[in-house]
Amino acid sequence: MPSGKTAQMTKEKLLELLSTISDPEIPVVSIIDLGILRTVVQMDDQWIITITPTYSGCPAMNMIEAQIKALLDQELGDAYEVRTTLHPAWTTDWMSEDGKRKLKEYGIAPPEASPHQHKLFGAPVLPQCPHCESKNTERISEYGSTACKAMYRCIDCREPFDYFKCH
């Protein structure tokens, strides 16, 4: 029997609710901006929410799933299911332009290109400094504040910054 809560819920409202959930490591970007949220579909009297981690083994994913559940428990009771899918793997192409802009404003260099493009051009693309927009940057460490980011430094303005790694 469809519950009243499910009947009242629309996809639009659900997306609006989910847009309030952000990456715990990067509070300025929502899971929709990041492309983590893949699909929201209604099947019978259940909503199926499918997410794809940005980085397998990224500890933030468990937190994101917990946040989705905390939110939807209130809104939908048990009339929903969160599914995690690893295929196709998340790529930085799924990140919205809005999301990339917000990352940059937050001081994290957004991904430059998809891994496919990296292979095409050979050499890896150096990220642009989010502070002064210089392309004159160097990598300090493979890992930044989290495994999903690398640490770079701008040679021009000398500011260190995190770079959201391409996958």
Per CB under 5 A, residues contacting Zn ion are 129, 131-132, 134, 154, 156-157
Dihedrals φ, ψ of 70, to 5°? -60, -40
- Least separation in angstroms between CB 109 and Zn ion: 10
Q: Of the two residues 7 and 132, which places its CB atom closer to Zn ion in the complex?
A: 132
Of the chain, the end-to-end C-alpha distance in Å amounts to: 43
Distance, in Å, from the CA atom of 77 to the CA atom of 88, rounded to the nearest integer, reads: 29
Report the DSSP beta bridge partners of residue 131: none
Q: Of the two residues 72 and 154, which places its CB atom closer to Zn ion in the complex?
A: 154
3-state secondary structure (DSSP) of residue 122: coil
Q: Of the two residues 131 and 167, which places its CB atom closer to Zn ion in the complex?
A: 131
111-117, Cβ contacts within 8 angstroms, sequence gap of 24 or more:
111/163, 111/164, 111/165, 111/166, 112/166, 113/166, 114/166, 115/91, 115/166, 115/167
Q: Of the two residues 78 and 133, which places its CB atom closer to Zn ion in the complex?
A: 133
CA distances from 9 to 6, 22, 32, 36, 133 (A): 5, 21, 18, 21, 43
- Least separation in angstroms between CB 157 and Zn ion: 3
- Least separation in angstroms between CB 161 and Zn ion: 8
Dihedrals φ, ψ of 102, to 5°? -65, -35
- Least separation in angstroms between CB 127 and Zn ion: 11
- Least separation in angstroms between CB 88 and Zn ion: 34
Q: Of the two residues 7 and 140, which places its CB atom closer to Zn ion in the complex?
A: 140
